[in-house]
Structure 1
Amino acid sequence: MWSKARYRTLVRASGVYDLVVTVGFATPWSFMLLHAWLGTLHDSLGFGGHLPAFDALQMMMANLMGSIVCVWAWLRIRHPQQRFGRYDAAGRMLFAAWQWYALAHGASPLLWGVLLFEVLWGIAQWLPVRSVVGVDSPLAEG
């Protein structure tokens, strides 16, 4: 069971993690560099095959995901509220489901590392938070 203060720290930390992991997806130029690095990592680990090149539509979708996740991460860093942690946990379970789907359909095994962290962050943010009578209310979170 988390205390309110520790839970807020957890929500902030998950935002920092998301910002670090997804900032490379936010622009076409940063994503091209990230994609090249991930391709090299994929190849050096001997996973076989290559990461596919992205066309303009796929690049736009990656940039959209990166941009939105960076904004969401910044919100949680600046305002680490319990309700944001709960929404983030739900979002992580959705992301994990789509990552599992991608892995089942031949995505790079590099995705296993990301999937693991999605599930761990999701579970941690789903755990109970200890309430303090008279202090904990939706209006008390700021």
Structure 2
Amino acid sequence: MLSFAAFRRLVRASAVYDVLMTGAFATPWSLLLLRDQLNVINVRLGGAPLPVFEPFHLLLGCLLGSVVLVWSVLRIADPQPRFGRYDAAARLLFSLWMGWALLVTGEPVLWLFIVPELAWGLAQSLPLRVSA
């Protein structure tokens, strides 16, 4: 069981993590650089080269990155437990779809996203101690 203060720190820490991990998704140029790095990692882990991103793929990636960045700034500025609970739900959904992608493609780079997403989601699902 987490105290209110500890839970707020957890919500803020997960938001900082998101800024660091998804900031590169926010622009087409940075996403292309990230894609190249993820491709190298995936191949080194024994996976196939990642597909080339077309403009539509970049659009979807940048939409994701933009929304996550705005959501992260909100949680950094105001790390309410309610926001942590919503974030936990989003992370569990993200993990579900990344797990589906892993089953379909077998690309090992996905583990680098699935494990932290599940960990943050589970952490923000922990019970909150009610002050007496």
Classify the secondary structure of the residue corresponding to 1:75: helix
Q: Distance in 2 between matches of 1:125 and 1:80?
A: 11
Q: What is the count of residue pairs matched by the alignment?
A: 132
State the identity as a percent.
48
User: Which amino acid in 1 is paired with 2:27?
Assistant: T
User: Which amino acid in 2 is paired with 1:73?
Assistant: S
Q: Does 1:17 align with 2:46?
A: no
Render the CA deviation track for 1:5-25: whole Å, top value 9, x for unaligned: 000000000000011000011
Q: Distance in 2 between matches of 1:107 and 1:17?
A: 25
Q: Does 1:93 align with 2:103?
A: no
Contact 2:46 2:108 in 1 (8 A): no
Match of 1:57 in 2: 56
TM-score, normalising length: structure 1: 0.90
User: Which amino acid in 1 is paired with 2:128?
Assistant: V
Classify the secondary structure of the residue corresponding to 2:9: helix
Match of 2:40 in 1: 40
Classify the secondary structure of the residue corresponding to 1:51: coil
Which structure is higher in helix share? Answer: 2
CA drift at 1:44: 2.5
Instruction: Give me the CA root mean square deviation.
Output: 1.0
CA drift at 1:57: 0.8
Q: Distance in 2 between matches of 1:122 and 1:7?
A: 13
Match of 1:137 in 2: none
Q: Which runs of 4+ in 1 moved over 4 A?
A: none
Q: Distance in 1 between matches of 2:39 and 2:123?
A: 31
What are the ranges of 5 or more consecutive residues in structure 1 without an aligned counterpart? 134-142
CA drift at 1:37: 1.0
User: Which amino acid in 1 is paired with 2:115?
Assistant: L
TM-score, normalising length: structure 2: 0.96
Q: Distance in 1 between matches of 2:129 and 2:105?
A: 42
Classify the secondary structure of the residue corresponding to 1:105: helix
Classify the secondary structure of the residue corresponding to 2:108: coil
Classify the secondary structure of the residue corresponding to 1:127: coil
